[in-house]
Amino acid sequence: MTDTTDTTVDLQREFAETGIGEVLDELDRELVGLKPVKTRIREIAALLLVDRVRQRLGLATQPPTLHMSFTGNPGTGKTTVALRMANLLHRLGHIRKGHLVSVTRDDLVGQYIGHTAPKTREVLKKAMGGVLFIDEAYYLYRPENERDYGQEAIEILLQVMENQRDDLVVILAGYADRMDTFFKANPGFHSRIAHHVDFPDYADEELLDIADVLLGAQNYRFSDEARKAFSDYLVARRRQPHFANARSVRNALDRARLRQANRLFESGMPLDADRLMTLEAPDILASRVFAAAEGSPA
């Protein structure tokens, strides 16, 4: 009978020792909702954990391809998840450093002949050992401009994604429909992307929860009336152009704090901590969003 004492593993123990549970818990605390995204990240973590112990036991294995595509509207947490993914991959030993380099087209593509290759290679050099996050990746490809140099950057990226996939993970991000068009035009990218993760828009109640979290982190809070006003604000704001989920919530709260500060200053009254912390309904209702919703000029 074969002794399996040294050839068995406890995945729960491995999970605890790598510390990836801390990363996943941190993601839960940082981001409201996004259950499908969090489930997918946990599935990827489980895959990599199993691959890690398979290698230790000498089981023949092909290192998994980890390049990813994050699709969704602005403010849905793509950059935050990319940061946590870099940490998770580092703890599991799949990348050396665990840092994230976030770029857009302008960081990769030059305006003149001979500028693109050095720019792209410099970015890749900084990202090696970690994760390269390319936001709005579809702007790399501009077929309407025959003198555009984006294709040169694409070819360099594809080569590195294939040949150095054990030392770099690339995450392409952007709107879902534009990313679909981009992948159809550049099948080399699609064939190298193993994980496609879609980030859904937040529901109104989730956005309200995000507002509570953001305020709490800065020692602010809504009064009951202000919270109701902000709920109405979200309904009206979502109907307007350029709504960016959590990003729009953060911007709205910054403006509400500005109004609160001016209201308190103009009151001329002594202030205690409670008044300094509390946003009131007028701080929300003064937003131009309500005027626009009523048909007045914004």
Residue 146: its pLDDT value, please? Answer: 66
Q: Where are the beta strands (DSSP E) in 45-168?
A: 68-72, 100-103, 131-135
Which strand (E) or helix (H) includes residue 290? helix 288-293
Identify the residue whose tokens are 């009951």: 224
Asked if 83 and 100 count as a contact pair (C-beta separation under 8 A), the reply is yes
The four Cα atoms 146, 138, 116, 166 give a dihedral, to 10 degrees, of: -140
Residue 133: its pLDDT value, please? Answer: 97
State pLDDT tens for residues 227-243: 999 999 999 999 888 89
Domains and CATH numbers, the chain: 11-199 (3.40.50.300), 204-293 (1.10.8.60)
User: What is the longest distance spanned by two Cα atoms in the chain?
Assistant: 86
Residue 4: its pLDDT value, please? Answer: 44
Q: Exposed, middle or buried, 196 (CB in 10 Å: 0-12/13-18/19+)?
A: middle
Nearest CA to 94 out of 62, 129, 42 is that of 129
Nearest CA to 67 out of 154, 155, 113, 131 is that of 131
Which strand (E) or helix (H) includes residue 222? strand 221-222
State pLDDT tens for residues 35-90: 999 999 999 888 888 888 888 887 877 778 899 999 999 999 999 999 999 999 99
Asked if 281 and 225 count as a contact pair (C-beta separation under 8 A), the reply is yes
**Two structure tokens written together for 190:** 């699609």
Residue 294: its pLDDT value, please? Answer: 62
Sites in the chain below the pLDDT cut of 70: 1-6, 145-146, 293-298
Q: Is 215 left (phi over 0), alpha (psi -120 to 50) or beta?
A: alpha
Asked if 156 and 121 count as a contact pair (C-beta separation under 8 A), the reply is yes
> To 10 degrees, what angle do helices 116-127 and 150-163 make?
30
Residue 147: its pLDDT value, please? Answer: 73
Query: Which ranges of 114-272 would DSSP assign to H, the alpha helix?
Result: 116-127, 150-163, 176-185, 187-192, 204-217, 224-238, 245-267
pTM recorded for the entire structure: 0.84
Residue 94: its pLDDT value, please? Answer: 86
Identify the residue whose tokens are 């919703």: 293
